[in-house]
Structure 1
Amino acid sequence: MDDGQVAALNQLLRTFIERHEAQVPAGAAVSMHARRIAEFAQQTPTPWRSARVPSEPHRAPHIAGHITASAWVLNAARTHAALVHHRKLERWLQPGGHVEESDSSWLAASRREVMEETGLTALTLSPQYGAELFDVDVHDIPERVATPTRHAEPAHTHFDLRFLWIAGSAQSLALNCDESLGVQWFELSALAADDALEESVRRMARYRV
């Protein structure tokens, strides 16, 4: 990952906004998220790293956040999506996480996260979206208290980039116990109608691909 990826991100976001801003209501919401991500990237050197906020009186140490890379993974028939049961947040979410210095691009970070969290390796881009963004989201991550196995982490914001991947057939999901409590295929129609799920997961399940 290098500074050149910030320019690439700006182009990805411009294309994304052009495609979504005419859509109401979901398109308006995700366009707003895209603009927030663009603003954060412009104001923050190396925005994939944790951007720390200067200490202030009477305020706990915290970080502004960082850009993350996620994936919406569909089976070959495009009827089911692969979700992981996030260990920290205790929710079913799309695979994704922090961008690493070794990632050559935002897309590469997304693919790596899928492989690490689901065990799926035969992955292709969809003809409809290709290497363009499928979805974006901005959301707050709660503070994490230190435990014997994990360090403390202040509350912060994830500026999440999401790409669409199609998994090849004849592959089995594999749980990464360090990252998740579960990994499973879910029918898209069930995800779209499940009010217990995070809103952006339901949103992605409603997209036609």
Structure 2
Amino acid sequence: MSLHDDAVLVLKGYDHPADPAQAGLRQVYLDHLARHPDGMWKSCGAGHLTASALVIDPERERVLLTLHRKLRMWLQMGGHCEPQDASLAAAALREATEESGIPGLTLLGSGPVTLDRHPIPAPCHWHLDVQYAALAPVGSTERISDESLDLRWFGYDEVASVADTSVVRLLERTRTALAERR
């Protein structure tokens, strides 16, 4: 199965009926993939899907954010899909592992936590981000990558003061998914 096919299956299975905005975004993503066979790749001029993961330590009620080198914002780990990625989930886990330096991360649940579409500079115009949550192993230690200016753990209550609304929304939905799992 191609990464494009996996993304279509993941998005068709993504269901958040309590949030009409998420249902609308899901359709935007599916329409994008239907119109753009290259819609998974950075080279797609109309925009492309990306995969990210919020690294979370639920035991200590904190998340690991990266100070993005180019954007100079505190964000979750994530980025572009690569040809070797077998699935969107694998791409999100790869990105989270590379950018956090933490081995042994595991994804929370079987699918994405939320979707976030945001503009980026030309020539690509849009990132259609499929956002997961990744659980950090107990006692894990982060290691900064070349893509980050800094890595830092933030308590749940600190995130709104350092990150934008998309990260705050991702944390809220991740905490809901954690609570539903228990």
- Do both share a fold (TM > 0.5)? yes
Contact 2:41/2:48 (8 A) holds in 1: yes
Output the TM-score relative to the length of structure 1. 0.77
Which residue in 2 is equivalent to 1:118?
100
Aligned-CA RMSD value: 1.8
> Which structure has the greater CA radius of gyration?
1
Which residue in 2 is equivalent to 1:109?
91
Which residue in 1 is equivalent to 2:141?
172
Contact 1:64/1:157 (8 A) holds in 2: yes
Which residue in 1 is equivalent to 2:164?
198
Q: How does 1:77-92 map to 2 (within 5 A)?
A: 77=59, 79-92=61-74
Q: Residue 78 and residue 204 in structure 1: after superposition, are their counterparts in 2 closer, same or farther (change >3 A)?
A: farther
Output the TM-score relative to the length of structure 2. 0.87
Segments ≥4 residues shifted beyond 3 Å: none
1:43 and 1:155 map into 2 onto residues whose CA distance is: 15
Deviation, 1:47, is 1.6
Match of 1:13 among 11, 25, 37: 11
Which residue in 2 is equivalent to 1:29?
21
1:124 and 1:155 map into 2 onto residues whose CA distance is: 30
2:52 and 2:107 map into 1 onto residues whose CA distance is: 14
Deviation, 1:8, is 2.6
Deviation, 1:46, is 2.8
Contact 2:56/2:136 (8 A) holds in 1: yes
Contact 1:118/1:183 (8 A) holds in 2: yes
3-state SS of the aligned residue for 2:144? coil
Alignment gaps of 5+ in structure 2: none
Deviation, 1:81, is 1.2
- Look up the equivalent residue of 1:115 and give its one-letter code: T
1:109 and 1:79 map into 2 onto residues whose CA distance is: 25
Deviation, 1:31, is 2.4
Alignment gaps of 5+ in structure 1: 53-62, 144-153
1:163 and 1:101 map into 2 onto residues whose CA distance is: 19
| Percent of paired sites with the same residue | 32
Which residue in 2 is equivalent to 1:147?
none
1:14 and 1:65 map into 2 onto residues whose CA distance is: 19
Q: Residue 189 and residue 29 in structure 1: after superposition, are their counterparts in 2 closer, same or farther (change >3 A)?
A: farther
3-state SS of the aligned residue for 1:64? coil
CA-to-aligned-CA distance 1:136-157 (integer Å, 9 cap, x gap): 11111125xxxxxxxxxx3521
Which residue in 2 is equivalent to 1:140?
119
Give the total of aligned pairs. Answer: 175
1:119 and 1:50 map into 2 onto residues whose CA distance is: 24
